[in-house]
């Protein structure tokens, strides 16, 4: 928790088709039965058209299943194979957008689906008529069921005769668990995880919404493990583990729920310990809730607790706290990162992200931290600068890092669009903290794209280098406006007096926080900044006082800026320059 409240709060079905078997009425006229059988054989041999074919289906009502096959990009112009538990088969073909449709007349549900890609076969399942998608998560769902049963989906799919198939209830349970594992990513990309089905909700392979999730999350299934990794689709560079599980993990038992229950128990106990003694809570009272190897943004357990209990960060009385969604889950190493919702007297209601590890000796989940030695922040977006020369707009990547003074000697970052790769971050000290940043908010040679991975190379004071990968999950190109100052001369800055500032709010992303800043440069090389101002997220005006030089110099230029940061990390900046 860095700190657990102050830094982290953010102001962010199925209709089962009942296949009725058509029962042929008996007739005592054998010749009519024979003739009927002959006709069935004839039509079975001749059936074709519509991009699908069926072999030996029993007589039944006509039904259709359709969906999208994609892994981010559409799986275009590719054959989709179907079979049911009795061995009836059919084929269809996807179009240029990965869409397919096939008549399942005569099939019993569920029906297994398969499509072959350059990276191997992907499987899916239609538990009813309607939509049945094919992608890496449907593949994970159906493979998990067969693995737990001791079967191979590859073998079962091509086996002659009858095979075992999962029930709709079993598939629905596994689907809900997989959806829960990637729920944070669904939300980030604008998809409601409570109303979306990975199997039966229609989507387009158009690079938006759920298709973006498919583009960014790579599923790998081996003989020993299952992993879901956030991966740059252009470079293949992995950024973070979304899920990791033993290969034989039975997802139908929902292993995530016991972890969530354990984390909620720890959060409740932590809340009760703070509420019992308030701001005078000793650090030692909270240490039992922390793992011995806790590390979060460079803070160990005792430092992190002290930071949380400090006057600036203390949450006050916590009335409610609990897990709202899963960010990542590692069932192999028994760690989980969750988004928590909390309500407290000092900070109101908001959310924060926390990591936990399971202690097998104490049989409980403990605060674990993000295991990073430095606080890192990426803010992609756009910057507008207004000066006497006019207005300029640039794509930016605001990169900030901070740690205890002297602990880090250098930080470099590499990734797409940077003018220099890697870029060495500038360093400034603020009391007990060192801050690292790209000058001028990191102008770029090209806009940042969602899914881009940037690697930080952190050099510690002992010369060891640690690399951290961070993925861009959102960006913006929306510019904002600023007004209030009368002009761009030094006199218009009203140095030493309050100046009113107005700004517009974004319409393309939700605001997480607003920061109003100012600066003054003087003829003697001095640089002064007033304290940062953080207005309410709905505010459109404020005031700031630019300070007089303290070294006897005269003001050469000054400025004010509005930083508006979204709930997904996107940022729009407006600079207003006096010179």
Question: In angstroms, rounded to a whole number, what is the distance separating the alpha carbons of residues 120 and 98?
Answer: 16
The pLDDT confidence band at residue 51, using thresholds 50, 70 and 90, is: very low
CB 324 within 8 A of CB 350: no
- Split at pLDDT 50, 70, 90, the class of 403 is confident
Residue 45 has pLDDT above 80, yes or no: no
pLDDT classification of 444: cutoffs 50, 70, 90: confident
Angle, CA of 13, 17 and 18, to the nearest 5°? 135
The CA-atom distances, in angstroms, between 371 and each of 335, 357, 433 are: 11, 11, 19
Return the pLDDT at 351. 86
In the predicted model, is pLDDT for residue 442 greater than 90?
Answer: no
Please compute the mean of the pLDDT values over residues 501-515 and round it to a whole number.
95
Residue 50 confidence (pLDDT) above 50: no
* Interval 259-314: pLDDT, tens: 999 999 999 999 999 999 999 999 999 999 999 999 999 999 999 999 999 998 99
Residue 283 has a pLDDT of: 97
Tokens representing 231 are: 């991966």
Write out the DSSP string of 147-209. HHHT--HHHHHH-SS------HHHHHHHHHHHHHHTHHHHHHTT--TTT--TTTS----SSST
In our burial notation (b when 16+ CB lie closer than 10 A, e otherwise), range 41-64 reads: eeeeeebeeebbebeebeebeebe
DSSP string, 77-102: S-EEEEEETT--EEEEE--TTSEEEE
pTM for the model: 0.82
What does the pLDDT average to over 109-129?
Answer: 95
Which stretch of 6-15, 77-86, 255-264, 333-342 has the lowest confidence by average pLDDT? 6-15
What is the DSSP pairing of strand 120-126 with strand 482-483? unpaired
Select the more confidently predicted residue: 509 or 58.
509
For residue 169, the number of C-alpha atoms closer than 13 Å in the C-beta half-sphere is: 1
Give the Cα separation of 109 and 19 in Å (integer): 8
| Cβ proximity of 84 and 54 under 8 Å | no
Among 439, 444, 448, 566, CA closest to 515: 566
- Calculate Rg over the CA atoms of the chain: 29
* Average pLDDT over every residue of 93-120: 94
Report long-range pairs for 227-234 (Cβ below 8 Å, ≥24 apart).
Answer: 228/140, 228/181, 228/182, 230/185, 230/471, 231/453, 232/451, 232/452, 232/453, 232/471, 233/72, 233/451, 234/416, 234/449, 234/451, 234/452
Rounded to whole angstroms, the Cα distance separating 549 from 553 reads 6
What's the CA gap between 278 and 345, in Å, rounded? Answer: 11
Q: Average of pLDDT values for 419-434?
A: 86
Of 248, 242, 241, 254, nearest to 224 by C-alpha is 248
The span from the first CA to the last CA of the chain, in angstroms, equals: 42
**What whole-number distance in Å separates Cα of residue 182 and Cα of residue 137?**
10
Which domains are delineated in the chain? 30-253 (no CATH), 255-367 (3.10.450), 375-382+391-471 (2.60.40.10), 482-578 (2.60.40.10)
CA dist 141 and 133 (Å) reads 12
DSSP secondary structure code for residue 520 in this structure: E
Residues 358-386 have a mean pLDDT of: 95
Task: Specify the pLDDT at position 445.
Answer: 79
Whether the per-residue pLDDT at 472 is higher than 80: the answer is yes
**Lowest pLDDT segment from 183-192, 440-449, 500-509, 568-577:** 440-449
The residue ranking higher by pLDDT, 13 or 116, is 116
514-561 pLDDT per residue, tens? 999 999 999 999 999 999 999 999 999 999 999 999 888 999 999 999
pLDDT of residue 1: 43
Return the DSSP state at 211.
H
Contact 411, 456 (CB under 8 A): yes
**Owner of token pair 């006709």:** 39
Res 30 pLDDT > 50: no
Share of the chain above pLDDT 90, in %: 77
Look at residue 547 in the predicted model and tell me its pLDDT. 95
What pLDDT is recorded for position 47? 31
Best CA proximity match to 403, nearest among 441, 368, 431: 431
Q: Model confidence over 138-164: pLDDT tens digits?
A: 999 999 999 999 999 999 999 999 999
pLDDT at 441: 64
């Amino acid at each position: 928790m860095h700190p657990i409240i102050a830094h982290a709060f953010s102001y962010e079905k199925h209709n089962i088709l009942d296949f009725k078997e058509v029962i042929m009425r008996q007739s005592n006229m054998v010749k009519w039965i024979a003739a009927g059988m002959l006709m069935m054989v004839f039509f079975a041999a001749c059936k074709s058209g519509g991009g699908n074919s069926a072999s030996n289906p029993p007589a039944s009502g006509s039904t259709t299943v359709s969906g999208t096959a994609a892994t981010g990009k559409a799986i275009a112009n590719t054959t989709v194979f179907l079979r049911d538990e009795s061995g009836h088969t059919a084929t269809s073909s996807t179009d240029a957008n990965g869409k397919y449709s096939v008549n399942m007349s005569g099939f019993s549900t569920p029906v297994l689906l398969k499509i072959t890609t350059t990276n191997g076969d992907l499987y899916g399942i239609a538990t009813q008529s309607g939509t049945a998608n094919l992608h890496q998560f449907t593949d994970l769902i159906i493979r998990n069921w067969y693995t737990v049963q001791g079967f191979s989906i590859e073998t079962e799919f091509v086996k002659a005769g009858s095979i075992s198939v999962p029930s709709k209830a079993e598939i629905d349970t596994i689907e809900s668990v997989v959806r829960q594992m990637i729920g944070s990513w669904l939300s980030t990309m604008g998809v409601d995880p409570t109303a979306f089905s990975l199997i039966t909700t229609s989507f387009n392979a158009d690079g938006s919404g759920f298709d973006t999730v498919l583009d960014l999350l790579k599923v790998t299934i081996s003989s020993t493990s299952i992993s879901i990794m956030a991966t740059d689709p252009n470079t293949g560079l992995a950024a973070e583990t979304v899920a990791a599980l033993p290969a034989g993990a039975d997802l139908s038992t929902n292993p995530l729920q016991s972890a969530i229950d354990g984390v909620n128990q720890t959060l409740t106990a932590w809340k009760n310990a703070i509420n019992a003694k308030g701001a005078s809570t000793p650090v030692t009272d909270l240490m039992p809730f922390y793992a011995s190897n806790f590390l979060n943004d460079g803070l160990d357990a005792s430092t992190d607790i002290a930071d949380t209990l400090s006057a600036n960060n203390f949450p006050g009385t916590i009335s409610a706290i609990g897990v709202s969604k899963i960010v990542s889950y590692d069932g192999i190493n028994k760690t989980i990162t969750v988004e928590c919702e909390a309500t407290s007297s000092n900070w109101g209601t908001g959310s924060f992200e926390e990591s936990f590890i399971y202690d097998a000796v104490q049989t409980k989940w403990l605060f674990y931290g993000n295991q990073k030695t430095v606080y890192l922040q990426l803010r992609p977006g756009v910057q507008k600068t207004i000066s006497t020369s006019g207005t300029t707009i640039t794509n930016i990547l605001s990169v900030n890092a901070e740690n205890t003074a002297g602990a880090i000697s250098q930080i470099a970052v590499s990734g797409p669009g940077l003018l220099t790769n890697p870029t060495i971050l500038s360093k400034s000290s603020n009391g007990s903290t060192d801050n690292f940043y790209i000058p001028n908010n990191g102008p770029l040679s090209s806009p940042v794209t969602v899914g881009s991975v940037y690697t930080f190379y952190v050099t510690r004071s002992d010369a060891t280098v640690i690399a951290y990968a961070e993925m861009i999950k959102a960006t913006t190109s929306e510019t904002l406006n600023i007004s209030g100052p009368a002009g761009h001369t030094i006199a218009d800055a009203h140095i030493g007096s309050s100046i009113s500032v107005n700004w517009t709010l974004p319409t393309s992303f939700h605001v997480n926080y607003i920061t109003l800043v100012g600066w003054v440069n003087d003829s003697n090389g001095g640089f002064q900044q007033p304290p940062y101002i953080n207005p309410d997220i709905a505010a459109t005006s404020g005031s700031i006082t630019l300070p007089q030089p303290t070294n006897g110099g005269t003001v050469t230029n000054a400025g004010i800026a509005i930083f508006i940061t979204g709930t997904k990390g996107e940022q729009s900046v407006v600079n207003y320059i006096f010179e």
